[in-house]
């Protein structure tokens, strides 16, 4: 059923007031087809609202993806394929997997949003990305209503990137995703130092289980990142820049302790939060917005902020980092 002038404040974690001219909740392919038949355009898709910055009211049609379901569709001795509805909550899916001894996504615990949004962003954390466990997805073309299956190659995954942020941007609603998860001999990933340290803090001295890893990641994220229920935010606002190693070498001439992580092809990843913090933004408040006091990568709504305020803060941060380090930050958040 189409709703008019739908208030979107409850549906975005940054806590911004905005309205959708036309809005519909969809829980099946037939729902999607019925909603798009009216010819209302443009069409946008809303998942958990945790990676969106509303800067204006939404014209056209906004579809809220609530296609649910979790099912093991194939089994092997050491792994399974799990099909999950695009409207499922991501963290709840991770919890379900861990409780059922299915490994591979425990490092992605407590990431906000929906399963359908996860391949669009190629979400990642603590050494794991969606592409590491992805098999295929089924999407609905928002122009024709036809379904199409995308395999890993067709998704063209990159760092926080996929075809759905480029050539296919805005064209599809992701109905379901199939993941390959292990049932035994799990590959425990503690490559990020914070996990090893946290396991020690939690008193876990024996080889960790996938449940231990999930618990550690939840602990880390709960400390570092603000709860959207208490202070509006949409998580990490900027991507960590991936640059030629020579750029980090230049930065370390002035900042010997500058962090960086080696990548293939003589490139490095530099934490955007560190760059922002060196420019004095961490904990700084600007009007109703600001940078979170514990993590400069996170922009927050102190109450009553507008999307244009937050966008201007992001632009000012980008300009200051560019001026000091010659590095251009790129937003990870979708700006609508």
Catalytic residues: 160, 236, 332
Shortest CA distance to 314 belongs to which of 238, 240, 226, 241?
238
Question: Which distant-in-sequence residues (6+ apart) come within 8 Å of 134 by Cβ?
Answer: 119, 152, 155, 157, 177, 178, 179, 180
Rg over CA atoms, the chain: 20
User: Cβ–Cβ contacts within 10 Å for residue 315, how many?
Assistant: 11
Phi/psi of residue 134, each to 5°?
-80, 140
> What is the three-class DSSP state of 197?
helix
SS3 content of the chain, % helix, strand, coil (to 5): 30, 30, 40
Tokens of 156: 């063209």
User: Cβ–Cβ contacts within 10 Å for residue 231, how many?
Assistant: 17
Pseudo-torsion of CA 98, 103, 109, 112, nearest 10°?
-100
Phi/psi of residue 26, each to 5°?
-120, 135
Report the C-alpha gap between 192 and 216 in whole angstroms: 12
51, 160 Cβ separation under 8 angstroms = no
Report the C-alpha gap between 89 and 113 in whole angstroms: 6
291, 220 Cβ separation under 8 angstroms = no
Question: Which distant-in-sequence residues (6+ apart) come within 8 Å of 255 by Cβ?
Answer: 278
């Amino acid at each position: 059923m189409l709703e008019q002038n739908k208030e979107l404040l409850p549906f975005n974690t940054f806590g911004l007031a905005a309205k959708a001219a036309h809005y519909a909740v969809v829980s099946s392919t037939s729902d999607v087809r019925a909603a798009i038949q009216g010819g209302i355009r443009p069409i946008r898709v809303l998942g958990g609202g945790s990676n969106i910055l509303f800067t204006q009211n939404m014209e056209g049609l906004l579809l809220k993806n609530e296609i649910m379901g979790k099912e093991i569709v194939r089994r092997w001795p050491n792994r399974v394929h799990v099909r999950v509805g695009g409207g499922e909550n991501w963290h709840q899916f991770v919890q379900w997997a861990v409780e059922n001894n299915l490994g591979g996504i425990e490092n992605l615990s407590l990431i906000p949003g929906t399963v359908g949004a996860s391949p669009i962003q190629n979400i990642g954390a603590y050494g794991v990305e969606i592409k590491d466990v992805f098999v295929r997805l089924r999407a609905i073309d928002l122009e024709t209503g036809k379904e199409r299956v995308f395999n890993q190659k067709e998704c063209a995954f990159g760092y926080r990137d996929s075809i759905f942020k480029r050539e296919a941007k805005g064209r599809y609603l992701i109905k379901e995703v199939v993941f390959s998860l292990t049932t035994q001999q799990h590959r425990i990933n503690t490559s990020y130092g914070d996990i090893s340290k946290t396991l020690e803090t939690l008193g876990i001295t024996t080889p960790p289980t996938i449940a231990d890893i999930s618990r550690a990641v939840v602990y880390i994220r709960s400390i570092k990142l603000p709860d959207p229920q208490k202070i509006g935010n949409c998580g990490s606002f900027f991507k960590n820049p991936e640059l030629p190693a020579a750029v980090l070498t230049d930065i370390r001439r002035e900042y010997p302790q500058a962090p960086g992580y080696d990548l293939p092809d003589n490139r490095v990843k530099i934490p955007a939060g560190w760059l922002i913090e060196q420019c004095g933004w961490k904990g700084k408040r600007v009007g109703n917005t600001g940078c979170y006091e514990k993590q400069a990568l996170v922009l927050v709504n102190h109450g009553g902020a507008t999307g244009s305020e937050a966008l201007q803060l992001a632009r000012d941060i980008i300009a200051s980092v560019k001026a000091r380090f010659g590095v251009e930050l790129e937003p990870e958040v979708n700006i609508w």
